[in-house]
Amino acid sequence: MNEGDAIQAAIATAGVVFGCFTIYISFTFAYLVTAYFVGIKLTRFQAIAASGLYVVAAGFMALVMIAWTEALFAITDRTSTALDAVGLIQRGYWIETFSILLGAGLLISLYFMWDVRRQGIERSL
């Protein structure tokens, strides 16, 4: 793979990563809005179903994002390009950071739903 091909592949791969992140954020925002506005009105089954669907959908996007980030680094590691001079594109701790942030986002969102439902139950007592 020559330098131009490697740069084009890296750009396309980064686009997939950003697309996955956008979808992850969309799923998370939709889940948080649902939790905030109707979380207390949901039955236990509905809350569990919504939470399960959220974990599967957002979790899948997080995994795909991490996998494509690995692919990006495989491309940039294999071929020497002008991108080697860009510090932010280097491997560093991107995978670990993404894993922690996206996983924490999932857990915090689930806690938010639980907290909204718990506070609503306490207020109704």
What is the number of structural domains in the chain?
1
Give me 78's structure tokens: 């294999």
> In terms of pLDDT, which residue wins out, 75 or 86?
75
Cα–Cα distance for residue pair 102/64, rounded to 1 Å: 12
pLDDT at 122: 62
Expressed as residue numbers, the domain containing 21 is: 3-124
Q: Check residue 123 and give its pLDDT.
A: 64
This prediction has a pTM of: 0.86
Q: Which of helix, strand or coil describes residue 123?
A: helix
pLDDT at residue 91 tops 80: no
Sequence-distant contacts of 5-14: CB under 8 A, at least 24 apart? 5/79, 6/75, 6/76, 6/78, 6/79, 6/81, 6/83, 7/81, 7/82, 7/83, 9/75, 10/72, 10/75, 10/76, 10/81, 10/83, 10/89, 13/68, 13/71, 13/72, 13/75, 14/72
pLDDT at site 119: 86
43-57 confidence digits (pLDDT tens): 999 999 999 999 999
